[in-house]
Each structure stands twice: as structure tokens, then as C-alpha cells.
Amino acid sequence: MLDRSTLPLLAEALARLDAGFSDLPPFAQQLDAARVREALFALADRLRDNYPYPHPLYAGQMLKPPHPAARLAYALAMFLNPNNHALDGGRATSRLEREAVAELAAMVGFSTHLGHLTSGGTIANLEALWVAGRLAPGRVVLASQMAHYTHERISSVLGLPFESIAVDALGRMDVRALAARVERGDVGCVVATLGTTSLGAVDPLHEMLPIARAHGVRVHADAAYGGYFTLVDELAPEARAAFAKTQEVDSFVVDPHKHGLQPYGCGCVVFRDPSVGRLYRHESPYTYFTSDELHLGEISLECSRPGAAAAALWATHRVLPPVRGGEFAGSLASSRRAALALVERLRRSGDFLVPIEPELDIVVYAPRASSARAISALSRRVFDEAARRDLHLALVTLPTAMLGAGVEADAETTTCLRSCLMKPEHEAYLDEITARLVAAIAATRG
Ligand SMILES: Cc1ncc(COP(=O)(O)O)c(C=O)c1O
């Protein structure tokens, strides 16, 4: 299952990198190869205790294996271990980071930008809300009820009041509720989630923007999971209309470590107005002295950051540029087709209900039963039976009202099954996935 064929490439690239330092006197790190071997073998044994994330039969949580180019580039950069805080810690990788981030800003449609990589979506969102709070101190942050749970926590860390806005039947922010709340005043920023974590629902950014602008409210897009779908034309018209407005938001977060084929530790925040860089101004008597060029630590809340993450993203962009009509965009379109095809098969089987039409590539479904509690119990059993058949799913809890009138509401929430079909191989694997799902539900009945 795990690709080993690309490892010789790493040795070749490493020799090329090493040649750049051939003027230095010979030097080799001390290494007790026998102990390292022992540790690595013990580690390999421990790592077997994982779900098979890279395999298409892993169709559960939001997990996608890094591209081989990303893995190799990260490993290559690790031999130097640059730190992208300042240019003397990571000169080459700071430039790679600025180039890769510029490519993401271009994907969003920003004609000007300031941005950088972060350790993940949470810190990227924290920076966006921190800037919002600095520009409108004490004002309320709004996000939908289905927004990522960290927005409320981030707001509390920043000392900003937070309120959630109701969602419609598809899990998208209810724009009438937003308008009513914004009109009451005191709102500093509204978060549009472009691809919610549980359902992949896309908030109607195109309708939220005019409401926010009419009241001087900042708009931040949390597209940590869904951001790359802006490259895909084959979306439902509402989702397409939302993504068509990304260039108008004030800040945008996308996680290369979700859909962007990167190892964990790679989020990204970009601001449309580069002048927000002034808010980051600080003194650092020990770092910024090697160059007048911008040090990324001058525009980032985190200090040390891995240059290897920038190297991996930059190299991946060389292989798969994040542009419309490219191979990468095609692979996202394939994930979306896989989601729609799975829905069709589940409905045709008669065994499952699909309460909400997927907008991106996350499918939420449940075994058919008459009541919320019966559905929850069956979902858990199908989850276990599927795992016994090497098909790994996820579970999600939804308000029972979202399952429609046909389900007796004997509990406020219902546990359903959830599959993020993020891997390009999922589409070709649908027969196998459906067959195992059908076998799993049959086993719960037998
Ligand atoms: C929409 C959204 N925002 C933010 C996050 C948090 O990102 P991270 O886990 O990289 O901190 C997630 C994670 O799934 C997410 O789906």
C-alpha cells in the first residue's frame, strides 16, 4: 500500500543539494546506525496501529495522503531544517513560501495580498480573527452554527464576543438571520465557511458580502477544507456563485494539509489588503538583521515555522499547479463526482437515506429506520461492520430536524455515517466501497 518506488529520487536530489555545500571542510553527523535501525523498526511496528489512511477503502475523516513530491521535498528540506521565521534561518524556503502563498492568493483571485503559511487551519483562522479584532476592537464575531468549533474558542482567546447564526436545511448560513443580526449592530466580522467540516456545506458568500459591506463588517472566509474547490467548475450553481466571490473577502484561509496534498503542519492565511501587515509590527532584537527584505516572522503570529512545509508546498505546485483546468483541479472534480455517484448508489440500494445533497465531496448518510434513535444505533453498527470489512467510515451527529419529516424525532440529534471522498482514487473504487457498505448493512440485519 505504501509507495517506496520514489525513495531513490530522494537520494539523487540530496546529492544535488549536498553539492551546493562542497566547498566546506568534510563533516558528517555522528550516527549509531544500529540503534537508529532498531528505533525505526520499532516505530514501523507501532505505526501499524493506524487506519490505512492512504488507501481508498479509508473513506472516513478528512484525511488525504501527501503527494509523493510533497513527502520527498519535505524530507529533502529536513536535511537542512530551515526555519521560516527569519531570512537567516530559512533564506531559500522563505522565498519558496512567498511564491507558494502568492500562487494560493492568485487562486483566491486577490490582486494584492499579504499572507503566509501556518501550522494549520486553526492558527490561520486565529490570525484572521486577530486582525479583525485589532481593526474593530470588542465587536462581535459571527459564524454559522455549522462553522468549525474553533471559531468560538479563538474568539474567546482573543477576547472577542462570538455569536452563531442559524443554518438552512442544507447546513449553510441563513442569510436572513445574518441580516437581522448585522442590523442590530456591533458586529466586527462575519465568517463564511466555504465547506463545513461535517457536511461540506458552502455558506452563500455572494449573499453575505452585500449584507456585511452595507454595515462595514469584515468578511473572513474559512475555506480550510473547501478552498481548493474554487478551481472546480462542476459545482451546484449556489456553491459556484459563492466561490466566484472569493476575491472580495478580506481574509481567506485554506489548508494545504487538507485538500492540498501536504503533510500536516501546513495551513495558509491570506489578506486582501497588504497594509494589515502594520498590525504585526514588533521588535525582535535577535532575528531580523541579515536583510532588509521582509522576514516572514514580521507578518506572522507564530515565531519558528518549518521551512520544509514551504518547500513541500512549492514543489507540489510545480507538479500540480493550483489552477483552473489543471490536473489538480481535475482530481477535485473527480472527488466531487465520487460523492454524487455514492449518493446515487446509496439511494438506489434502498437501504440508506441521504438527508442532504453534498455540495463538495463529503457524503452524510444513514441506514433507513423509522426513528432518530434507531438510525443512530444502526449507524454505529454499520460503522463497526464496515470496519470489519476493511472499509473505514466516520460518524457525525446532526440535528434530527435535518433528516427530514419522515424520521420520528425521538432524540434531538441523530448519529449518521460520513465519508470524505477526498482521494482521487475514490471514484474508481466506488463499486468496492458500495459492495462493502451493502454487506455491512446486511450483516446488521442478519
Ligand atoms: C472548516 C474548517 N476550519 C478549520 C479547521 C481547523 O483546521 P486545523 O485542524 O488544520 O487546525 C477545520 C478542520 O477540519 C475545518 O474543517
With a Cβ cut-off of 6 Å, ligand 1 is lined by 62, 120-122, 125, 148, 150, 193, 197, 222, 224-225, 255, 267
Phi, psi at residue 340, to the nearest 5°?
A: -65, -40
Of ligand 1's atoms, which has the minimum distance to the CA of residue 258?
A: 10
Q: Do 91-319 and 327-445 agree at the fold level?
A: no
Best probe residue, ligand 1, of 258, 268, 396, 420 (max atoms within 8 Å of C-beta): 258
DSSP assigned state of 358: -
pTM for the model: 0.97
CATH of 91-319, one of 3.40.640.10, 3.90.1150.10, 3.40.1400.10, 3.40.50.300: 3.40.640.10
* Cα 422 to Cα 334: distance, rounded to the nearest angstrom: 9
Of ligand 1's atoms, which has the minimum distance to the CA of residue 255?
A: 10
Give me ligand 1 centre to Cα 329, in Å: 21
User: How many residues can be counted in the chain?
Assistant: 446
Give me ligand 1 centre to Cα 70, in Å: 20
Which of 273, 300, 316, 296 lies closest to 100, judged by CA? 316
Is the pLDDT score of 351 beyond 80? yes
- pLDDT tens, 132-181? 999 999 999 999 999 999 999 999 999 999 999 999 999 999 999 999 99
Of ligand 1's atoms, which has the minimum distance to the CA of residue 264?
A: 10
Count Cβ atoms below 10 Å from residue 116 Cβ, excluding itself: 27
| pLDDT score of 71 | 98
Q: Under a CB-based contact definition with an 8 Å cutoff, are residues 123 and 302 in contact?
A: yes
Is the pLDDT score of 292 beyond 80? no
Q: Any idea where the domains of the chain sit in the sequence?
A: 91-319, 327-445
Of ligand 1's atoms, which has the minimum distance to the CA of residue 124?
A: 11
Q: Under a CB-based contact definition with an 8 Å cutoff, are residues 115 and 268 in contact?
A: yes
Q: Under a CB-based contact definition with an 8 Å cutoff, are residues 219 and 194 in contact?
A: no
pLDDT-derived band of residue 28, with 50, 70 and 90 as boundaries?
Answer: confident
Give me ligand 1 centre to Cα 378, in Å: 28
Of ligand 1's atoms, which has the minimum distance to the CA of residue 223?
A: 1
- Is the domain covering 327-445 a CATH 3.30.43.10 domain? no
Chain centroid to Cα 258, Å, comes to: 4
Is the pLDDT score of 422 beyond 90? yes
The residue whose CA is least distant from atom 4 of ligand 1 is 121
Chain centroid to Cα 171, Å, comes to: 18
| pLDDT score of 29 | 86
Of ligand 1's atoms, which has the minimum distance to the CA of residue 225?
A: 16
Give me ligand 1 centre to Cα 353, in Å: 27
The residue whose CA is least distant from atom 8 of ligand 1 is 121
Give me ligand 1 centre to Cα 114, in Å: 21
Give me ligand 1 centre to Cα 345, in Å: 29
User: 252 to each of 63, 256, 404, how far by Cα in Å?
Assistant: 21, 13, 33
Residue predicted with more confidence, 37 or 406: 37
Q: What percent of the chain has pLDDT over 70?
A: 100
pLDDT-derived band of residue 222, with 50, 70 and 90 as boundaries?
Answer: very high
Q: Classify 216 in phi/psi space as left (phi over 0), alpha (psi -120 to 50) or beta.
A: left
Give me ligand 1 centre to Cα 316, in Å: 21
Which of 127, 98, 72 lies closest to 312, judged by CA? 72
C-alpha cell at 423: 482521494
Q: What percent of the chain has pLDDT over 90?
A: 93
* Cα 181 to Cα 164: distance, rounded to the nearest angstrom: 10
Is the pLDDT score of 287 beyond 80? no
Of ligand 1's atoms, which has the minimum distance to the CA of residue 226?
A: 1
C-alpha cell at 197: 467540516
Give me ligand 1 centre to Cα 172, in Å: 17
Angle at 305 between CA 329 and CA 251, to 5 degrees: 50
User: 1 to each of 7, 8, 70, how far by Cα in Å?
Assistant: 15, 18, 18
Task: Tell me the sheet residues that pair with 4.
Answer: none
Best probe residue, ligand 1, of 229, 255, 361 (max atoms within 8 Å of C-beta): 255
Is the pLDDT score of 282 beyond 90? no
Helices (H), 274-407: 307-319, 327-349, 372-388
Give me ligand 1 centre to Cα 409, in Å: 30
Is the pLDDT score of 446 beyond 90? no
| pLDDT score of 179 | 98
C-alpha cell at 113: 495580498
Task: Tell me the sheet residues that pair with 339.
Answer: none
